[in-house]
Chains A and B, each alone.
Chain A
Amino acid sequence: ETGVTQSPTHLIKTRGQQVTLRCSSQSGHNTVSWYQQALGQGPQFIFQYYREEENGRGNFPPRFSGLQFPNYSSELNVNALELDDSALYLCASGWGINTGELFFGEGSRLTVL
């Protein structure tokens, strides 16, 4: 059974640039969620995708967007990067639209200079 994998593991961008983070869900899962974890904080919900549709969103601006593909892999896109976007971005997958039992990836650490 393959777990949740994320890429890239680390990346550095400058303010104003755009970034795409990728995630492969665990085999058999049909829900993917993205979380932002700032240093010293708990993960904060960005959004969830189920069957390729966004069906839940946290308190993040529209420049945070995502996609879920038919194979249940996912992307997180962030436009017009700001310094405060520097964080660890976690992808998590699960089974079912309303599950709280999530399987996390190791994260992508984004640094915005």
Chain B
Amino acid sequence: AQRVTQPEKLLSVFKGAPVELKCNYSYSGSPELFWYVQYSRQRLQLLLRHISRESIKGFTADLNKGETSFHLKKPFAQEEDSAMYYCALKAGGTSYGKLTFGQGTILTVHP
């Protein structure tokens, strides 16, 4: 069975500071990893996925299979980044679209 752990429930930084949201996973196969975000009063939405290796809103995330991690990083946080962030894993094989989510991290960026 797969598991996703986000060790920080709350993370506070000041505007302009670097931010890193941690995500660790447990899965024996080759996973797909995602970051989903929920801004205040909005629905859950996809932020980025590891296979596309892109930067979205200044955020990047690198899949580290050795450390089984997929941390989300941004060099200079903005107030509009304040939101709930979920790391999610999709297993291979016949898991189809099942996503396993972490418990989430609430990021607050102070002015």
User: A residues touching B (Cβ–Cβ < 8 Å)?
Assistant: 3-4, 31, 33, 35, 40-45, 48, 50, 55-56, 58, 90, 94, 97-107
Q: In the docked arrangement, what's the CA distance between A55 and B101, Å?
A: 19
The residue from B45, B95, B98 contacting A104, defined by CB atoms under 8 A apart? B45
User: In chain B, what residue has the closest Cβ to A97?
Assistant: B96
Main secondary structure of the interface of B (DSSP, over half): strand
Question: Taking the nearest CB of chain A, how far is it from the CB of B49, in angstroms?
Answer: 7
Given A41-B103, A43-B86, A43-B101, is A101 in contact with B96 using a C-beta cutoff of 8 Å? no
Question: Taking the nearest CB of chain A, how far is it from the CB of B110, in angstroms?
Answer: 23
CB-CB nearest 5 A-B residue pairs: A42-B101, A100-B90, A56-B96, A104-B44, A45-B98
Q: Please state if B44 and A98 are interface contacts (CB–CB under 8 Å).
A: no
User: In chain A, what residue has the closest Cβ to B100?
Assistant: A45
Q: Please state if A48 and B97 are interface contacts (CB–CB under 8 Å).
A: yes
In the bound complex, residues from chain B placing their C-beta under 8 Å from that of A107 are: 43
CB 8 Å contact bits of B96-111 with A (1 = contact, 0 = none):
1111111110000000
Q: Please state if B97 and A31 are interface contacts (CB–CB under 8 Å).
A: yes
Q: In the docked arrangement, what's the CA distance between A101 and B102, Å?
A: 16
14 contacts between A and B (CB under 8 A): A4-B43, A42-B4, A42-B104, A43-B86, A43-B99, A45-B99, A45-B100, A48-B98, A55-B96, A56-B95, A102-B99, A104-B43, A106-B43, A107-B43
